[in-house]
């Protein structure tokens, strides 16, 4: 059990993407703190913003696998396809859900339009713009290539 944990911690396919995710989320937290002068812990675990940590993580993993296992390996094909799915989802489906949440929040806040009582606002920053996904992917490819 202890050896499995150590092997997991020393696995570059695990710790490099996780460290990259943490670094990007920390960057977003610090950037948000500097620009708004408010500490928002949700930035460390929340979705959205520049750059996309989701894109960076999956592209760094795919790059690492391609570099060390070979681009003709089945595991590289799997990681590349999953990276594309995650990036498409971040830029498409989750972004659309965020736009819908923003619209619903406006509808609920409009006086006289609805009598709905809502205990909390919907989360609006769910997805990413294409440029946020692209920059995240570039960072991930760079980190995977130099690791």
Q: What does the pLDDT read at residue 116?
A: 61
Q: What is the pLDDT of residues 1-51, one digit of tens each?
A: 678 888 888 999 999 999 999 999 999 999 888 988 888 777 777 777 889
Mean pLDDT of 101-128: 67
109, 32 contact by CB (below 8 A): no
The 8-class DSSP code of residue 123 comes to P
Confidence band of 109 (pLDDT split at 50, 70, 90): confident
**Considering just the CA atoms, what is the radius of gyration of the chain in Å?**
19
- Between 8 and 78, residue with greater pLDDT: 78
Q: Say whether the peptide bond before residue 51 is cis (omega within 30 degrees of 0).
A: yes
Which tokens in the block code for residue 128?
A: 């990413």
Give me the chain's average pLDDT, please. 85
């Amino acid at each position: 059990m202890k050896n499995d944990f150590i092997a997991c911690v020393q696995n570059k396919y695990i710790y490099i993407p996780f460290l990259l995710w943490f670094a990007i989320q920390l960057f977003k937290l610090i950037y948000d703190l500097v620009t708004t002068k408010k500490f928002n812990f949700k930035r460390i675990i929340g979705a959205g913003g520049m750059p996309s940590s989701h894109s960076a993580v999956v592209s760094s993993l795919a790059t690492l696998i391609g570099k060390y296992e070979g681009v003709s390996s089945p595991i590289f094909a799997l990681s590349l396809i999953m990276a594309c799915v995650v990036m498409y989802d971040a830029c498409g489906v989750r972004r659309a859900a965020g736009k819908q949440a923003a619209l619903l929040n406006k509808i609920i806040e409009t006086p006289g339009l609805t009598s709905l009582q809502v205990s909390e606002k919907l989360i609006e920053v769910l997805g990413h713009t294409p440029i946020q996904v692209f920059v995240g992917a570039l960072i991930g490819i760079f980190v995977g290539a130099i690791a």
